[in-house]
Amino acid sequence: MHQFIYLVLSFILTVPAFAQNYQTTGKIIVDDPHLADLIDVSAGIEILADGFGWSEGPLWLSSENKLIFSDIPDNSIYEWSESDGLKLYLKPSGYTGEQARGGELGSNALLLDSDGRLVLCQHGDRRIAKMLAPLSDPIPKFETLVDSYQAKKLNSPNDAVFSKTGELYFTDPPYGLEKNVDDPAKELDFQGVYKLSKSGEIKLLTKALTRPNGIAFSPDGTKLYVANSDPKRAIWMVYDVKENGSIGNGKVFYDATNLVLANNGLPDGMKVHRNGTVFATGPGGIFIFSPDGKILGKIETGKETANCAFNDDYSALYVTADNYLMRVHLKK
């Protein structure tokens, strides 16, 4: 009997932390057999939480062992952990003004700077800002990093990524404006992709994309991927990154325009695995590309899918999709 009890306790103690009974949804499509070396297909797509207005900008906080993500319409950031579940992390997150306004006013992309401070793309305030508080004790006090280009107010910074040299690359579509591209408060007549230097100098990299959205670097920093969330030109672009930080030789990485009518969603947020595999949200879920643009498979969430993020050891991919927070288990 004692041996039996010991075996049962040993089993309980060695069950992995993710072995809770989460509801699953959607399906994982494998187009290349090598994808099975990367994704635990048998685990499915787990629903960790729901009830959000539009979930976005997931970010894994290694120091806190938790995920944080934006709920844009709610002007809030939520946190989720295996041990404590779902909690409010920060509110307000993207609009700090006193005058009531509608639209997509909350924070979007979230990222960490080299000092471990939280950096936010704030739709409502039309800027990128840094939270003036530690991650463990968040408060809605912010310092503006950038809010204008050539003395004109930015549209609504959407997604951002730091280069290996510490420069901030970001996209600026009109989605945070109450009337979108036709908003009378819109000061720029284009939607840009920008680079903010460590000294605070902003440089326009391209204004050729109609709705620049998700943005990510290749692991070696020599390629920059940018999503264009325009249903008339639903594409991902890839650019060479030059020694001075500018971009060139832009070409279409993948064109999903013909998939838009039959599927929910558009090219949106993306993350690049440390092995170079690109996980890009788009029509129907998340496209999984090899570095040269070959489709390896797809995570079909059944929802309009906004963005995704890896945890620190790449054992999980967290997904924000419409009103859901989801997770897919990976093989490290």
What residues are annotated to the active site? 268
Residue 299: CB partners within 8 Å, gap ≥ 6? 26, 28, 29, 45, 279, 285, 286, 288, 317, 319, 328
Distance CA 319, CA 325 (A): 6
Distance CA 282, CA 20 (A): 29
283 exposure class (CB count in 10 Å sphere: 0-12, 13-18, 19+): buried
Q: Give whole-number Cα distances, 28 to 18, 36, 43, 45, 285, in Å.
A: 19, 10, 10, 8, 10
Does the annotation flag 158 for ligand binding? yes
Does the annotation flag 143 for ligand binding? no
Q: Are 55 and 320 in contact (CB under 8 A)?
A: yes
Does the annotation flag 275 for ligand binding? no
Does the annotation flag 155 for ligand binding? no
Q: In what order do the strands lie in the sheet with 202-206?
A: 160-162, 168-172, 192-196, 202-206
Q: Are 71 and 30 in contact (CB under 8 A)?
A: no
Buried-exposed string 118-132: b where 16+ CB fall within 10 A, e elsewhere: bbbbbbbbbbbbbbe
List binding-site positions for substrate: 158
List binding-site positions for a divalent metal cation: 56, 213, 268
List binding-site positions: 56, 158, 213, 268
